[in-house]
Amino acid sequence: MGEKPIFKYFTGNEADQFTFYRIPKLLFTNKYFSGLSTDAKVLYGLMLDRIGLSVKNGWMDEQNRAYIYFSVEDTMEFLNCKKNKAISTIAELDVKDGIGLIEKKRQGQGKPTRIYVKSFYIQEDKAEISGSEVEKTNFKRFEKSTSKGLENKSQEVGKINPNKNNNNNTDFNDNKSNLISSEEMEKKRDSVMSEYSGYSKLVRENIGYDSLIERHPFEVDIIREIYELILETVISRNEEIVIAKDRYPLELVRSRFLKLNYDHIEYVLGCLKDNTTKVRNIKKYMLTVLFNAPTTIGSYYQQAVNYDMQNMHL
């Protein structure tokens, strides 16, 4: 570990210039969520952040419900933990084994599992969290997956902040005041989807998506993943993008990704084929290869030519 950095004090409104993950206050202040571990609360905040990306990508099911992709490996990376810990933390949030803030839907055939992130709002009269999951479970399985069981569960659910709901300064009213009208949400969604559609068409044309599919019929899934990764990156709202542990300004990364063409993608496919080492995080690996493609493609093909020439003289 290197020399310990010296962090400076905040002055004025300096904190406003940074981006943050948002974790609902109710997860810390409401007794109903007292059984959740801190890691599970942080993970829920990370998953909430992904919902915005899902809307941009148009990841909505036939019932117009947004879903995300958040793998065990993603959890391990964000929480800096091992696999067993990541699995147990996800289980704390799950409908099946935990409190019911997320619901997993397996798609089969090697496709990633969809995760539906549910609302954390608790209704005063029914003590619900985005549906009737609370009414349907006594949390016996939840007690097994967390270090603290929920004591007196039926009474606890019925007594969630009974007095505070008449106070204008409650967590629920704070959250309610931040709700956006359906009309504003509709306009925002239309704007986001328009931007997504525009970038989607541009990226497909830039990389010659249809030609790639035609030429590489056995690598359709990989090509689709590459296309979706490029699109996900260029429509990102993060100020910085992490590539191979280095942080780059979003505009720099977006500019480079929008310059990727057919040859660059063929180069990336070649790199994936030639790589013989185990890749722990394939998404991070592909992101790095795509980012470096414009600057390394020449050397890659020159090396291939040199290799062929050398074999010809043997």
Is 249 found in the same domain as 104?
no
pLDDT at 186: 61
**Would you say residue 4 lies in a domain?**
no
pLDDT at 181: 53
Q: Identify the sign of the CA torsion 293, 296, 297, 300.
A: negative
**Would you say residue 79 lies in a domain?**
yes
**Would you say residue 9 lies in a domain?**
no
Is 138 found in the same domain as 154?
yes
* Spatial distance between the Cα atoms of 252 and 70, rounded to a whole number of angstroms: 26
**Total structural domains within the chain:** 2
Is 157 found in the same domain as 71?
yes
Nearest alpha carbon to residue 71 among 111, 100, 21, 118: 111
Q: Hey, what are 130's tokens?
A: 């985005």
- Using one digit for the tens of pLDDT, what is the confidence trace for 255-304? 999 999 999 998 888 888 887 777 778 888 889 989 988 888 765 555 54
Is 145 found in the same domain as 249?
no
Residue 288: which region, alpha, beta or left (left: phi > 0; alpha: psi -120 to 50)? alpha
Is 157 found in the same domain as 230?
no
**Would you say residue 68 lies in a domain?**
yes
Q: Hey, what are 229's tokens?
A: 């990764």
Backbone angles phi, psi at 98, to 5 degrees: -135, -140
Please count the other Cβ atoms lying within 10 Å of the Cβ belonging to residue 264. Answer: 22
Is 297 found in the same domain as 164?
no
**Would you say residue 125 lies in a domain?**
yes
* Spatial distance between the Cα atoms of 116 and 105, rounded to a whole number of angstroms: 8
- Tell me the pLDDT of the chain (314 aa) as tens digits: 567 888 888 776 666 666 778 898 889 988 889 899 999 999 999 998 888 778 777 888 888 898 998 889 989 999 999 999 999 999 999 998 899 999 999 887 777 889 999 988 875 444 444 444 444 444 444 444 444 444 444 444 444 444 444 444 444 444 444 444 556 656 656 666 667 778 888 999 999 999 998 888 888 888 999 999 999 898 888 888 999 888 999 999 999 999 999 999 988 888 888 877 777 788 888 899 899 888 887 655 555 444 444 544 45
Given 146, 179, 212, the domain boundary residue is 179
**Would you say residue 2 lies in a domain?**
no
* Spatial distance between the Cα atoms of 283 and 166, rounded to a whole number of angstroms: 48
Is 248 found in the same domain as 142?
no
**Would you say residue 7 lies in a domain?**
no
Is 192 found in the same domain as 171?
no
Task: List b or e across 127-137, with b for residues whose CB sees 16 or more CB atoms inside 10 angstroms.
Answer: bbbbeeebeeb
Given 179, 194, 229, the domain boundary residue is 179
Given 179, 194, 227, the domain boundary residue is 179
pLDDT at 293: 87
| Assessment of whether the complete model's pTM goes beyond 0.85 | no
Is 29 found in the same domain as 173?
yes
The domain in which residue 150 lies consists of 16-179
Is 197 found in the same domain as 80?
no
**Would you say residue 10 lies in a domain?**
no
Is 138 found in the same domain as 25?
yes
Backbone angles phi, psi at 103, to 5 degrees: -135, 125
Is 189 found in the same domain as 173?
no
